[in-house]
Chain A
Amino acid sequence: MRTQRTSYRLTAYLFLTPNVAIFVVFIIAPAIYNFFLSLYRTSPFRPPVFVGPENFLYLLQKDDLFWRAVRNILVFVVGDVMLITGLSVLVGVLLNQNVRFRGFFRSAFFYPVLLSPVVVALVWQWILNSQFGVLNAILQGLGLPRQPWLLRADWAMFWAIFVHVWATLGFFAMIVLAGLQAIPAALYEAADIDGAGRWKTFRHVTVPMLMPTLMVVLILGMIRSFEVFDHIYVLTGGGPGTATLLVVHYIYRSAFQLDQFGLAAAASLVLFVVIFTLTVTQYLLGRSRGSI
């Protein structure tokens, strides 16, 4: 009996080993290397020099671009997560209705998720081009003036959030849809018997039962927002100026345009700490409310 249990355990570890090995080699080891890299000043011309916390002090005390990127990412995350959460509930509820061509609508909403972020951003860049874009052509056709959609700071951030939401909404809507379909029908029947209208049913049955799913959407949405790179890099390049320069773009610029790999590593560590803290906080809040 004991031999059999040991054998089962060993088999389980054996099956887990390849995954764990990949995780260690491609996630844990680079993360540890990144930590050590953040303590060095790197150069393409000479060996790295140990500088201790100098990179972190520079980031936090001297670098205006880093703080600009932090401000931008907070604006982006708040806007992106609020829209994603609200719209995914709306879309999930709509896709859960028993209507004709329901399958088509579900595919249509999910389709942008399958597209490469580069393709999505390029297409929207063309749509929003200030000289030749489709959107401005429509505006001109209606007798309205052309707009510098991606050349004004406020519009650029709006469109950055819009494009990201457009590209990822389908993914979160499917999560919400799965959550909706897991709600027992008996609860809706009971609410119906008690004479609850659609809105009351939604408020007192659907929303509480959907809370665990919404926590997942919130946490995942927040992590993905903090880490966004491809869409913004292609759509605005972080511009105009630094209007849409997010932390990951700051890291990319420091590493590949200024050859400051140590500084980039330090910035990525700061980003990791922020995301980790927020995620744990959300998770604990969700647990305390019984949502998870």
Chain B
Amino acid sequence: MNDMNVCGNHEALIGYLYDECEPAEREAVAAHLALCASCAEEIHALGDTRAHMVSWTPPALPLGFQITRTESDTPGKVLRPAAWWGRPLPAWAQAAAAVVIFAAGMSVNLERSGGGAPAPVVAQAPSAESTPVAETPAADDITVTRAEFARLEQRLRAIEHADVQLASRTGGGVDQDELFARVSALEQRSVENDRRTLGLISTVATLAREAENQRESTRTVNAMREDVRELGDAFRTVAPTWAVRTALTSSSGR
């Protein structure tokens, strides 16, 4: 390798830098570096760069891996059960869900529209902070509490459960007419139950109102008694003075 081949020959310089070249090549590069300041400077700079790299050490992480013997070196594929939301619903469950949604929709609709029948008056259940209901709501002014919705939901779930059981007994194989008739019957039953419940709630609300009125009367009586007692106390304080003044007036007049 002559001098011209070394100058700018990166492969030769790298071989020399890492001392991984033939002795003859090494001698040729060394001879060139003695004459060429540019290549000598480059080799020196690359050597410095290598010296910098020594400082880069990976963090000391505890390792200690080991192969442990098991029953089988090739573990079988573990199948996990599919998530419940990923499974397809059976036909009876789909029908039950449809029934529930339909019945719930009809119930809400009937309650909002008054359902054609005389609607019971439903008042909000009295709470500790609530004031007594002063006026009687109008017949079409229906308010439904959260508790009533919860009861309605419970009943719907019971209906759903019964329907699911029925569907499972019949294997889910029902025709459209039969299904419609069943849905209608369930809906009718649900509406009747709702009316009964609303009537009961109305009665309870009325009783609560009466109880509150009674409590109010009691509070008024107690207040009057308190006033009488205070008057009595005031009279007892004033009475001796009045008696003395009366006596003095009588004696001076004499």
| A interacts with B | no
